[in-house]
Amino acid sequence: MLNKKRVSIKYKIFIGVGLFVILNIIINLLIVKLSINDIYLSLEKKELKKEYELISKNINNEDKLFNIIYNASNNGIRIKVLDNDFNLLYSAFSDKIDKRFTNFDLILLNSLKDNEKKIITLENKRKSGYDIHLVGKTSYGYTIISSSIDSIKKDAKTTMIVILVTSLITFGILLLVAYFISKLFSKKIKEIKDVTDGITNLNFDKKIDVKSNDELGDLFKNINDMSNKLESNIKELEEANKKLKQDLVDKEKQEKARKKLIANISHEFKTPLTIISGYSQLMIDEVKKPENKKNMQIIINESERLGDLVHEFLELSRLESGSIVLNKTDVNMKDIIICELDKLSVKIKRKKINVTTNFNGNQIIKADEKQISKVIENILTNAIKFVKNENKISIKTYSKGEYFYYEVFNTGDNIKQEELENIFNSYYKDKSARNKEGTGLGLTIVKAIINLHEGNCEVKNLPHGVKFIISIKK
């Protein structure tokens, strides 16, 4: 797409005002041209009526009458005053022929009929244009007042020239005014642009010089205030951001140190616990008293439990540190679930649990089989541990979009809201009756593995139990 040529707003305002003035002048000239003849004709008829009223009023005063006719003659108006027998009493005409009563005068008088006065516009064959004639009655007879339209046209032409010259002068003046106004506006608009450009680039040094106490002055002042407030807010945000970054760095360092400490402690615990468990199992056969034998078994059980805890700590540390690289292959989720159910079949039979499965659609996904097996095992183990009431566990799998879903529902008690929010959190262990067994890291490990597979973990309370929903990106 081609970029349009940039045109300054100053020239746009100047050109716009210039075109508006030109259009206005053209329209005015057209209106004047089309109507000026009619206007002058109307004025001329009014003038003839005025002369007729003066003659009618002063018909008995010969001196005044003569002055009226003489003055009218100087203005291009021809007058004939006749008696009732059509004898010429007074006249003011430039040619000798019109100093007598003519057949044309008779035609004009005959057109009166019952009218007191009448204005007639007729084509004058001797001249171009038309003549205006006012024929009227007086106390002595008749009056014929005539005027040539040629003079009207001449006056109209003169007026048109005057209007045209005046318009051109006005056009020049208005163009100068438009130029200075556009220059003034463009200067202020450029100031606004410079300030807003600076704001866009986070440079708040430039400000608009406010001189006018009006709406524009208010606008400029508001832009300056906005610039100042933005500068202040951005500085505050920058300070807060620096503090937040430092806090995050400190927190990350603390988290790394904590994980490293846990990994080191777990590693150090592993060997002593193995030794304690091993020696305890050797010694139990030599213990004679039942009470001591029972105590020795407790030592073995607890050391094994601590060994499991250490193992899970180490596993979680490796998952969270990112040291584990996934070996993704085509995995059949149905086969893995059935395999894990077989491993847990003894516990399922012992608690008399009714397990139902519902496998929908394609069960093949790209995943690390070893890690996904842990997810399946931990979720099932969790459901077996807390199943109650009807002792039902239902497993459902399906695909939706780019994700594969693994859902496990178990009947039993709902989870408290606080526990729901923290159940997948690292090292969170429920203190309620719900979780008296285990290490408390099983679900945390699930979340860590699912995060590596770009998935999500969710748990919901339902009317008769709890549902875990695991989504894995296929």
How do residues 251-300 score in pLDDT, each as one tens digit? 777 666 666 666 666 556 666 767 776 767 767 777 677 777 777 777 77
CATH for the 207-324 domain, from 1.10.287.130, 1.10.3720.10, 1.20.1630.10, 3.40.50.10860 = 1.10.287.130
Residues contacting residue 104 through CB under 8 Å, at least 6 positions apart: none
Cα separation, 214 vs 188, in Å, equals: 14
Other residues' Cβ atoms within 10 Å of the Cβ of residue 394: 17
Angle at 13 between CA 8 and CA 17, to 5 degrees: 150
The mean pLDDT values, 10 residues at a time, for the chain of 474 residues are 57 75 79 73 84 86 85 83 82 53 77 76 54 83 81 70 80 79 74 75 73 72 81 83 82 68 62 69 71 74 68 67 78 93 92 94 91 92 91 94 94 87 67 49 86 91 93 88
CATH for the 9-156 domain, from 1.10.3470, 3.30.450, 3.30.70, 1.10.10 = 3.30.450
Q: Break the chain into its structural domains and give their ranges.
A: 9-156, 207-324, 325-473
Cα separation, 356 vs 12, in Å, equals: 78
pLDDT tens per residue across span 166-198: 878 877 887 788 777 777 777 777 777 777 777
CATH 3.30.2000.10 fits 325-473, yes or no: no
Q: Give the up-direction half-sphere exposure of residue 199: CA atoms within 13 A in the CB hemisphere.
A: 19
Residues contacting residue 337 through CB under 8 Å, at least 6 positions apart: 357, 359, 376, 395, 397, 406
pLDDT tens per residue across span 6-53: 666 667 777 777 788 788 778 877 877 777 777 777 888 888 888 888
Cα separation, 306 vs 468, in Å, equals: 27
Q: Which residues of 143-182 are buried (b: 16+ CB within 10 A; e: fewer)?
A: bbbbbbbeebbebbeeeeeebeeebeeeeeebeeebbeeb
